[in-house]
A and B are shown apart, each in its own frame.
Chain A
Amino acid sequence: MTLLDVQDLTVEFPTRRGTLRAIDSISFSIGTGEILGVVGESGAGKSLTGAAIIGLLEPPGRIAGGQILFAGKRIDNLSQDRMRAIRGRQIGAIFQDPLTTLDPLVSIGRQLVETIQTHLRLSDRDAKARAIKWLEEVGIPAARARIDAYPHEFSGGMRQRVVIALALCAEPRLVIADEPTTALDVSIQAQIIELLKRLARDHGTSVMLVTHDMGVIAETCDRVAVMYAGRIAEIGPVVEVVRHPKHPYSEGLMGSIPSLEHRVARLRQIDGAMPRLAAIPPGCPYNPRCPKVFDRCRVERPGLLEADATRAACWLYDKAAAHV
């Protein structure tokens, strides 16, 4: 069942030198209990997509087109107040840096209870019991004893668990996790990934996992969307996109990741860099770097086309033209 449905979402930033289109008409959906990965290099628009969904776009950024449906209802045109009621209660958010997400002057128990009581009508005692339950759920040992501790008394990995508990304590149906493991060491990262997977499985929570780390995506997600220059280059089941990428960009991306399993003499490299927002080339945004580019790519922008098990925004997969 579809929980989140994003249709033709466009995000723009008006500047003195004209309007920059940071996200250009992207569409995707997330089902109940599904983990969708959003991957891409810095500046591809993946974090902005998350911010647009929870209504936290930094002005002057604005949604310039398309719509976002949550459980069948539009949420992109709600007032600040209505959106605040949804944020936290229906849609939770986990950000990259666990240090800046927590208030250093308030005990973690207080922060959790406050969050819970904002969204749910619970007595102090019930709210505290729920806070302890969630701290245990995210794997904090001796949660009852540590509930009055302050953020600085926790290590980085433990703080990120507290942040996850905060995002989940009102039991939202969708969690947007923006680089939740990037600031953490690998052994802690593995624990947090496992936690996210368990929550999706046990609670039916849907997760949109934004990260630049393809390895994290490969292990965590059901489906993945590869973003490039504010557009979705390819979207499909994670096994397909990782093993048999169809879009030349996803192919290059997979090839450029050094492998633990076998050592190669040279990594596949994508020459050049992602275009700046002010200078996105016409046609397919990837055409100047693409090894398989042909004339049509330079003039006409491809939509998402069926490519075996995935959908890729690439003219190579235009069945109508293949016969010509």
Chain B
Amino acid sequence: MSDLVLEAVKVARYFDVSKPWLQRALTGGRRTTLRAVDDVSFAIPKATTLSLVGESGCGKSTVARLAVGLYEPTSGSIHFEGQPLSAARAQASLRRRMNMIFQDPYASLNPRWRVRDIVAEPLRAFRILTSPRDVVARVGELLTQVGLTPADGEKFPHEFSGGQRQRVSIARALSSAPDFLVCDEPTSALDVSVQAQILNLMRDLQQRLGLTYLFISHNLAVVRHMSDRLGVMYLGRIVEIGPGEEVFRTPRHPYTRLLLDAIPDLEMVGKARTPVGGEVPSPLAPPPGCPFHPRCPLANDRCRVERPGYTVAGGTLVACHAVEEGRGEARGYSTSAV
């Protein structure tokens, strides 16, 4: 199992979102728990990309934070290169090998620091390089690697456009020479032509440096472009996970089909489609049984009471009673992907 960079087994993360104690005592309210992530398992082999996709509130960003140890799991375990993540985080030599790229390149860079200091901070924090001359050389190298010039190091973040700032974030994330990067919606704040630059850059870097990515996005087309494996999340659970190509070509879970159907696509120009009704229920009060059953065209009585386990279907794992019983295909449920 040595080629797995990250392995999560039945990870859950709950948040206590109760009203303050006094208010509860006076109004008779009860504790409320938000199950942001529930029973999530996945593994990421070295030098590959696992993407997690889902709508807002499905828990994908919480998984990203769990994966780098910014949150402790409520239950379950996460291992980084075979060691428990908490133990790995305690060792600087392992901690420097994981890093994170955030969504907002405007908020994640300190506006009062020059870019050279932003990029050099991990080098100094981990005492990777100590002589100022080495640091300058390394920062120049990193900036060149992400398509900027060493001279850009003298500038402040506000002097850059959104795409260039995201390049600075990537240079900073790469400066401690990590193997594992968690990218939480790295391109959703960017325009499409700039998004293409960043996605190309990230794939080039992956090939050149053998990086492993956990890639979080709500954009299925971006995810398709980036991933080797793909997990689809709904209300804190992974409802379908498997090789990216297979999930896109033969989506099995009704929610995956809904997502693929709902995305406006250039290929759909001039064609009509039937939108699926309903919205994601509040994660504070998830429906019993399968969380997707209120919107699911294939739901029956079993789905309303019993939570589905995983069924192996082809190379993917699907959490759906209908797939397990072979109900979906029988009714000729079609997707617009044809």
Do the beta carbons of B193 and A256 come within 8 Å of each other?
yes
Chain B residues, Cβ within 8 Å of A191: 275, 277
Beyond A185-B55, A264-B225, whether A258 also contacts B199 by CB under 8 A is yes
Do the beta carbons of A238 and B269 come within 8 Å of each other?
yes
Q: Which residue from chain B places its CB closest to the CB of A254 in the assembled complex?
A: B266
Do the beta carbons of B225 and A219 come within 8 Å of each other?
no
B221's contact among A155, A193, A260, A274, by CB below 8 Å, is which? A260
Chain A min CB distance to B273 (Å): 7
Mask for B235-265, Cβ within 8 A of A = 1, else 0?
0000000000100100000000011111111
Do the beta carbons of B265 and A259 come within 8 Å of each other?
yes
Residue A243 at the B interface, CB < 8 A?
yes
Residue A145 at the B interface, CB < 8 A?
no
Chain A residues, Cβ within 8 Å of B269: 218-219, 238-239, 242-243
A26 to B6, CA, bound (A): 53
Residue A261 at the B interface, CB < 8 A?
yes
Do the beta carbons of A157 and B224 come within 8 Å of each other?
no
Residue A270 at the B interface, CB < 8 A?
yes
- The residues in B between 283 and 338 inclusive whose CB is less than 8 angstroms from any CB of A are 337
Of A185, A213, A216, A270, the most chain B CB neighbours within 10 A belong to A185
Of A158, A213, A242, the most chain B CB neighbours within 10 A belong to A242
Residue A214 at the B interface, CB < 8 A?
yes
Main SS class of interface, B: helix
Q: Which residue from chain A places its CB closest to the CB of B160 in the assembled complex?
A: A273
- The residues in B between 66 and 100 inclusive whose CB is less than 8 angstroms from any CB of A are none
Chain B min CB distance to A227 (Å): 12
Mask for A165-176, Cβ within 8 A of B = 1, else 0?
000000000000
Residue B4 at the A interface, CB < 8 A?
no
Chain A min CB distance to B81 (Å): 29
Residue B197 at the A interface, CB < 8 A?
yes
Chain A residues, Cβ within 8 Å of B220: 186, 260
Interface size on B, residues (CB 8 A): 47
Chain B residues, Cβ within 8 Å of A256: 192-193, 195-196
Mask for A209-241, Cβ within 8 A of B = 1, else 0?
000111110111000000000000000001100
A257 to B248, CA, bound (A): 17
A266 to B197, CA, bound (A): 10
B248's contact among A188, A215, A218, A260, by CB below 8 Å, is which? A260
- The residues in B between 175 and 232 inclusive whose CB is less than 8 angstroms from any CB of A are 191-197, 199-200, 203, 218-222, 224-225
Chain B residues, Cβ within 8 Å of A239: 269-270
Q: Contact residues of B with A, CB < 8 Å?
A: 55-56, 161-164, 191-197, 199-200, 203, 218-222, 224-225, 245, 248, 258-271, 273, 275-280, 337
Considering the complex of A and B, which 7 residue pairs feature the smallest CB-CB distances, nearest first? A215-B264, A256-B196, A41-B191, A185-B55, A267-B196, A258-B225, A190-B262
For this complex, 13 residue pairs linking A to B, each with C-beta atoms less than 8 Å apart, are A185-B55, A212-B191, A216-B264, A218-B266, A242-B266, A253-B192, A256-B192, A256-B196, A258-B222, A263-B245, A264-B225, A267-B196, A267-B225
Q: Contact residues of A with B, CB < 8 Å?
A: 41-42, 155, 157-158, 185-191, 193-194, 212-216, 218-220, 238-239, 242-243, 252-261, 263-264, 266-271, 273-274
